[in-house]
Amino acid sequence: MDAGPQWQVGRQASRFALTVGIEGSDFMKIEAGVGKMIHQLENIFLLVIALLTVIGACKEIYVIADKRDVGLQDLLLMFLYVEVLAMVGAYYDSKQIPITLPIFIAITALARLSILQKDQEPLNLIYEAGAILILAIASVVVNYRPVRAPRTNDRETSKASVGLRPGSDR
């Protein structure tokens, strides 16, 4: 009589991954492949975002050239396009997105919204200005937060704790 599938806990204790009849090393290979696939999809979507941003900016330039007039809302929209491209570029350079870039994009979008909505109630303008102020304060707080010391691996830390220099064998 079969007792059913045998469950094994993956080798990494922090992952809590349960597998059905898969050896630990095979599971690690599958996990690495899935991670690689997710990173490839992420890169494809970022490329699509960059491409669509460039297309949107080109369309806006065409509209500006066609009407032969540049308004503040047009400049703010172009600035939004540049910020989105900067965010994609920053991710490709460092594989992380600085939190200040989305904050700047939100500030610019709110400013553009305030400019475009000329016939709005004064209270809405105060709300939008308050939201911009909150985002600006958040940007300042994020930029002036204390920087954490970089982490070292356990071997280097253990050498330092016994008086050895990191990188030395003795």
Domain membership flag for residue 133:
yes
Where helices occur in 68-99 by DSSP H, the ranges are: 72-94
pLDDT (mean) for 130-154: 81
Domain membership flag for residue 60:
yes
| 162 vs 65, more confident | 65
Number of domains in the chain: 1
What's the domain range around 33? 23-146
Domain membership flag for residue 107:
yes
Domain membership flag for residue 166:
no
Closest CA to 91 of 135, 130, 42: 42
Domain membership flag for residue 97:
yes
Domain membership flag for residue 3:
no
Write out pLDDT tens, residues 7-57. Answer: 444 444 344 445 455 566 776 777 778 888 998 998 899 999 999 999 999
| Phi, psi dihedral angles at 53 (to 5 degrees) | -65, -45
Q: What is the mean pLDDT of the chain?
A: 78
Q: How far from chain centre, in Å, is Cα 88?
A: 9
Domain membership flag for residue 123:
yes
The model carries a pTM of 0.59
pLDDT (mean) for 69-91: 89
Helix axes 72-94, 24-67, angle to 10 degrees: 160
Q: How far from chain centre, in Å, is Cα 45?
A: 13
What percentage of residues in the chain have a pLDDT greater than 90? Answer: 31
Domain membership flag for residue 135:
yes
